[in-house]
C-alpha cells in the first residue's frame, strides 16, 4: 500500500514543459532558458515591491514571494520560474539569527565560533513548522503561474550554509569556516550531516507544496580544493539527491528533476555528473565542450554565460549566445547565466539574452 500522498491536487495544467523535458534529457524544440536571480533588484518593479520591507520579512510573506517570482515572467518569455526565497532560511530554521544589512548583505550576529556552539542548534527540525512559509509561497505561486511554466524550488548545500554560519556573512577567503575543516573535522561532519538531513526534508517539502524541479546551490564550492570538496562537500551533495529521491518515492510524490550547481568546482565535474542529479549547472569559467567531455552524454548541462556579458551591446549578446549554443548543442541543455543577475543590469539586455537563446536554438534545430 503506498503512503497517502501529500502532494496538493488541483494545480493548473502545465502548458510549457520544455525546461522539464530538457532536464530529463528528452528532445526539445528549442533550448529552454531561465536566469539565476531572475527575481531581483535589476527589475524596477522588484525594487518597488521590496522597498519598505525587511528582506527576511519578505521571504516569510507567501504573497510577496509569489509576486516577486512572477514579475520576471511578465516581462520575458522565460521557460521556468524559481521561487523567491533565500538559502539562509535553513540556518534560521536551525535557530540562528540572520539579518540583512544594507550594503553588506546577510549577517549572523552570533556566528558559530567554537565546536560547543553546535549544541545551540536545533538537532531535530520540523521543516513544516520552521519553513512552512516557503511551502505556502510555492503552493500559491504554482497556482498563480496558471501552468505557464514549471516552478523550481531550491536550497543551499551544506558546505555553503556551514561557511555562512561560521563566517557570519560573506567572506573573500572563508578562512574561519575552512579552519574548522582542518582543525575540527569531526565537528564539521556533524554540522554538515545535520544540514544535509534538514535540506533533504526541506526539498521534499517543496515538492509536496508544488515545486516541479529542485536546485541545490553549492555557491562556495570554489573556496575548497579538490580534496576538501571530496571530503566535506561531495558526500553530502550525493546524500541529498539519494535521500530526496527515496523520500519522494516513499511519500508517493512526483520524482522531479534535480539540478546541482557547484560554483567554481570544475575539478569535480566528473563526480558531480555521477552524484544523482539530472542536471549539472556550470559557472562561466569552463568551456561548454570541456564540460560535455567531462560529464558525458547522460547528463543535462545548465549555464553558463558570463553574467557580465549582459553589459555588452544588444547585438553582441546575440553573438555570445550563439557561440554558447554551438558549444553545448541545443539538446540536453538548459541555457542560463554562469551565476546570478547583478542589480545594475538592464532588463532590456536580459530580454535580449532570453530571445537570443530561443531564436538561435530554434534555427539550429531546423538545420
Residues annotated as catalytic (active site), given as ranges: 37, 41, 50, 86, 164
Question: 224, 119, 130: which is closest to 179 by C-alpha?
Answer: 224
CB of 321 within 8 A of CB of 306?
no
Question: 321, 330, 363, 278: which is closest to 31 by C-alpha?
Answer: 330
Question: 57, 68, 55, 67: which is closest to 103 by C-alpha?
Answer: 55
Q: Is 251 exposed, middle or buried (0-12, 13-18, 19+ CB in 10 A)?
A: middle
Can you tell me which residue has the cell 553549492?
218
Residue 154 forms beta bridges with which residues?
215
Q: How far is 39 from 82, CA to CA, in rounded Å?
A: 8
DSSP codes of every residue in 226-261: HHHIIIIIHHHHHHHHHHHHHHHHHTT-----EEEE
Interhelix angle 185-209/175-183, nearest 10 degrees? 120
DSSP codes of every residue in 166-200: HHSS--SS-HHHHHHHHH-HHHHHHHHHHHHHHHH
Alpha helices in the chain (DSSP H): 18-23, 44-50, 55-59, 62-75, 89-93, 127-144, 158-167, 175-183, 185-209, 226-228, 234-250, 269-273, 288-295, 314-328, 347-366
Q: How far is 308 from 316, CA to CA, in rounded Å?
A: 12
Residue 336 forms beta bridges with which residues?
304
Amino acid at each position: 500500500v503506498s503512503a497517502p500522498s501529500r502532494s496538493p491536487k488541483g494545480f493548473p495544467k502545465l502548458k510549457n514543459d520544455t525546461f522539464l523535458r530538457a532536464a530529463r534529457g528528452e528532445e526539445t524544440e528549442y533550448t529552454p532558458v531561465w536566469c539565476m536571480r531572475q527575481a531581483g533588484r535589476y527589475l524596477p518593479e522588484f525594487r518597488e515591491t521590496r522597498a519598505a520591507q525587511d528582506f527576511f520579512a519578505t521571504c516569510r510573506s507567501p504573497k510577496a514571494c509569489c509576486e516577486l517570482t512572477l514579475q520576471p515572467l511578465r516581462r520575458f518569455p522565460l521557460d521556468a520560474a524559481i521561487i523567491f526565497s533565500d538559502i539562509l532560511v535553513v540556518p534560521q530554521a536551525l535557530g540562528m539569527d540572520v539579518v540583512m544589512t544594507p550594503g553588506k548583505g546577510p549577517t549572523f550576529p552570533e556566528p558559530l565560533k567554537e565546536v560547543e556552539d553546535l549544541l545551540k542548534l536545533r538537532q531535530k527540525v520540523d521543516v513544516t513548522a520552521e519553513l512552512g512559509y516557503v511551502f505556502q509561497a510555492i503552493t500559491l505561486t504554482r497556482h498563480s503561474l496558471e501552468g505557464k511554466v514549471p516552478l523550481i524550488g531550491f536550497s543551499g548545500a551544506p558546505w555553503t550554509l556551514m561557511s555562512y554560519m561560521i563566517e557570519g556573512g560573506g567572506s573573500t577567503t572563508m578562512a574561519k569556516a575552512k579552519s574548522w575543516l582542518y582543525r575540527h573535522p569531526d565537528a564539521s561532519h556533524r554540522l554538515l550531516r545535520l544540514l544535509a538531513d534538514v535540506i533533504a526534508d526541506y526539498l521534499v517539502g517543496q515538492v509536496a507544496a508544488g515545486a516541479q524541479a529542485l536546485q541545490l546551490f553549492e555557491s562556495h564550492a570554489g573556496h575548497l580544493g579538490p580534496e576538501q570538496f571530496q571530503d566535506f562537500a561531495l558526500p553530502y551533495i550525493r546524500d541529498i539527491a539519494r535521500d530526496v529521491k527515496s523520500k519522494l518515492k516513499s511519500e508517493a510524490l512526483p520524482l522531479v528533476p534535480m539540478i546541482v550547481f557547484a560554483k567554481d568546482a570544475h575539478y569535480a565535474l566528473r563526480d558531480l555528473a555521477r552524484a544523482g542529479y539530472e542536471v549539472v549547472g556550470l559557472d562561466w569559467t569552463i568551456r561548454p565542450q570541456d564540460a560535455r567531455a567531462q560529464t558525458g552524454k547522460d547528463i543535462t548541462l545548465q549555464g553558463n554565460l558570463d553574467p557580465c556579458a549582459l553589459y555588452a551591446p544588444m547585438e553582441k549578446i546575440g553573438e555570445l549566445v550563439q557561440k554558447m549554443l554551438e558549444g553545448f548543442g541545443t539538446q540536453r541543455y538548459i541555457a542560463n547565466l554562469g551565476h546570478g543577475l547583478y542589480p545594475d543590469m538592464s532588463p532590456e539586455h536580459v530580454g535580449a539574452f532570453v530571445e537570443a537563446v530561443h531564436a538561435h536554438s530554434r534555427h539550429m534545430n531546423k538545420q
